[in-house]
Amino acid sequence: MTHIAFIGLGNMGGPMAVNLVQSGHRVTVFDLSVPAMDSLKREGASVADSALSAVKDADIVVTMLPAAQHVERLYLGNDGIIRGAKPGTLFIDSSTIDADTAKRVGADAYACNMHFIDAPVSGGTAGAKAGTLTFIMGGSPHAVAQATPVLQCMGRNLFHAGDLGAGQIAKICNNMLLAVLMAGTSEALTMATKNGIDPKVMSDIMLQSSGCNWTLEKYNPCPDVMENVPSSNQYEGGFMVKLMNKDLNLAMNTAADSVSTTPMATAAQSLYRMLESQGHGEKDFSSVYTLFNKHTNT
Ligand code: NAD
């Protein structure tokens, strides 16, 4: 039986680790949050008292952390998990971070006779719970093949984007588009409402028209149009505004490095920054709707 260590049990990592347990794998977890570990313990995972003790006997290590600085700190250095694992361990980092950090961590893993892929995800917390995430991988074909059976326990669509770091570039491009789509959908729904059209009716119309997009299908930003989405739960849970801002910063840096022009994403970034500066950084990113519709509570 493959022994998997899972580190980072937040909104995404928690349900992903549950799916690994439910697939019959031996799973050892670690998070800085004790309640997050307790909840995995109830699902049948073993709980470690540190990241190093979680990885020491593992065949595969999956990490799901907020940002690049957390990944760097956890993996690198003499007390990092690369040096604490047994030779040949495969590391899968599913956090969304910049491609250069992914390449640096991957190079260090290979220098220590380990394997590494970057495998950020798309699909949100609902996809994490349902085991239907999309994994976007960067790394060697050998490491990707080794990771595939484990990732299939947590996701439905697996893509190999290219070498180390390519998964992160593809993920950042996707999230840049998502930021624009969520803001544009909020803008259209608000204008419809102000002109007397029920937002549910307007959503149904756009779902069958050329404005249809993922936010309307899975993540409507207007409260009470859809059940079980953050907008119908005071914008709690889901994908935090501060994480979207992190991803938009990654997108802007990537755009600058590659001399790409991104006027739509630049406009969207101003909106998500405004939300965070107004104290809504911990709310779900669909709360961008409240900037257009000031009568909606966050
Ligand atoms: P989160 O903040 O809910 O969870 C992060 C978890 O990592 C927390 O439980 C935290 O305690 C833990 N952690 C931080 N440092 C740690 C360390 N050194 N050791 C152990 N645990 C540590 O974030 P999330 O929403 O789960 O997102 C995780 C990553 O996935 C981010 O990079 C995000 O951009 C990406 N992502 C999120 C979503 C989403 O819908 N939430 C979707 C796709 C991708």
Domain boundaries, the chain: 3-163, 169-292
Quote the ligand 1 centre to 63 CA distance (angstroms): 9
The whole-chain average pLDDT of the chain stands at 97
Predicted local distance difference test score (pLDDT) of residue 298? 66
Quote the ligand 1 centre to 65 CA distance (angstroms): 4
User: What is the best residue among 16, 53, 63, 64 to mutate for testing ligand 1's pocket, by most ligand atoms within 8 Å of CB?
Assistant: 64
Active-site annotation holds for 171: yes
- Is residue 292 pLDDT above 90, yes or no? yes
pLDDT in tens, 170-197: 999 999 999 999 999 999 999 999 999 9
Residues 6+ away with beta carbon under 8 Å from 125: 11, 12, 15, 237, 238, 239
- Is residue 297 pLDDT above 70, yes or no? no
Quote the ligand 1 centre to 276 CA distance (angstroms): 18
CATH of 3-163, one of 3.40.50.720, 3.40.50.2300, 3.40.50.620, 1.10.10.60: 3.40.50.720
- pLDDT category, 1, cuts 50, 70, 90? confident
Predicted local distance difference test score (pLDDT) of residue 293? 86
Residue 286 Cβ < 6 Å to ligand 1 = no
| Active-site annotation holder among 103, 129, 171, 283 | 171
Mean pLDDT of 55-78: 97
- pLDDT category, 294, cuts 50, 70, 90? confident
169-292, superfamily in CATH? N-(1-d-carboxylethyl)-l-norvaline Dehydrogenase; domain 2 (1.10.1040.10)
